[in-house]
Amino acid sequence: MTNLVIDGLRRTYGATVAVDRVDLEVAQGELVALLGPSGCGKTTTLRMVAGFVQPTAGRVLIGGTDVTQAPPYGRDTAMVFQGYALFPHMTVAENVGFGLEMRKIARPERETRITEALRLVRLDGYAERRISQLSGGQQQRVALARALVVNPGVFLLDEPLSNLDARLRAEVRVEIRALQQRLGLTTLFVTHDQEEALTMADRLVVMDRGRVRQIGSPEELYERPADIFVASFLGRCNILSGVLEAPGSFRAGGLLLPSAGERPRGPAALAVRPERIDIRPDGGCLPGRLTMVTYLGGMTEFHLETPAGPVLVTKPTPAQGDPLRALVAGDTVHLDWHNSFGRLLGIEPEGDLP
């Protein structure tokens, strides 16, 4: 059983704190995604696990063994790099076989495993190609195969999809996830694409300026974000600031809005997902004037100006004849949502928002 434990990991560069006391456990066979804005310390965390960056403080344990002081070649990890980092002077098969060779695996077994790995990433028949003769997507698969073939204790990926076009990215995303599950690999995945994180990961770690904001399943983080940062980083979210006057009565823009959750009285923010808001002709809790209606095919976005601030509502595009379909900018409507969809959160200083 190979799990990964990150314990109080910290790394500073001069006065910059790149990673600040990160604690995390990745269970055997689990895929955890590190997610956060640029410069929040995702890559640095990953590189400390791989052994390329020495932590200032804290420990890394792989399968229960403390490897904090071990060099990269002494750790049972395999990493897929952002730019793939393939060996340009070797063929596809030589690239994939490199890790096996380093592990002193005999040639016959090596060849079987290379063939198997290439089949796994659907590159059979490409074994003798040069790296320069491959497309970006194919190179990406070679990088995957090269890491997977050694059957690593911990599988690390640093934005492996960022060089691919949108269509290929969606495809490879599913492939990586399927492989990871089939092989039961303990995986740490870095991305700044929230959709990627939501669709692939068992659990997400949202980071901000070196620190962990929240750890949880995609559902937990999306439905029950711990703070405004997480709420607005993952998916889109309406954040309405106001005051909590008494339990259950949150007032913003002079209106009482439906809310749930315990918080001390005083200034607070209400987070409501755009798809949870209903639009009615009248009788809602919050009146608003439409400023823009954006048709996105399957979905339609309604941008509104309300006493509590700008609000975004997304709905599956209404059918012909639905009154919503007739709405145009300038119309006045009422908004409403169930209590449980209005999540009370603490106010944060301006600069702390993504």
Residues that bind another protein (CB under 8 A): 50-52, 71-73, 77-79, 81-83, 85-89, 98-99, 102-103, 146-147, 150
- Which of 141, 169, 173, 192 is in the footprint of ligand ATP by CB under 6 A? 192
Residue 305 Cβ vs Mg ion, minimum distance, rounded to whole Å: 38
Shortest distance, position 344 Cβ to ligand ATP, whole Å: 29
How far apart CA 242 and CA 252 sit, in angstroms, is 4
Q: Which residues contact 132 (CB under 8 A, 6 or more apart)?
A: 88
Q: Considering only 36-44, 63-71, 133-141, 242-250, which stretch makes contact with ligand ATP by CB under 6 A?
A: 36-44
Cα distance between residue 81 and residue 282, in whole Å:
54
Distance CA 297, CA 293 (A): 12
| Minimum separation from the CB atom of position 159 to another protein (A) | 13
3-state secondary structure 46-82: HHHHHCCCCCCEEEEEECCEECCCCCHHHCCEEEECC
Rounded CA-CA distance 37/208 in Å is 7
User: What are the tokens at 243?
Assistant: 């005051």
Among 38, 254, 262, 319, binds ligand ATP (CB under 6 A): 38
Of the ranges 42-50, 89-97, 117-125, 228-236, which one interacts with ligand ATP (CB under 6 A)?
Answer: 42-50
Least distance between ligand ATP and beta carbon 15 (Å): 10
Taking alpha carbons only, the member of 75, 45, 71 closest to residue 58 is 45
Q: Which does 41 bind (CB under 5 to 8 A by kind): another protein, ligand ATP, Mg ion, none?
A: ligand ATP
Residue 44 as a binder of Mg ion (CB under 5 A): the answer is no
**CB 7 to ligand ATP: min, Å:** 18
Q: Could you count the other beta carbons within 10 Å of the beta carbon of residue 203?
A: 19
In the complex, which residues of this chain contact Mg ion (CB under 5 A)?
43
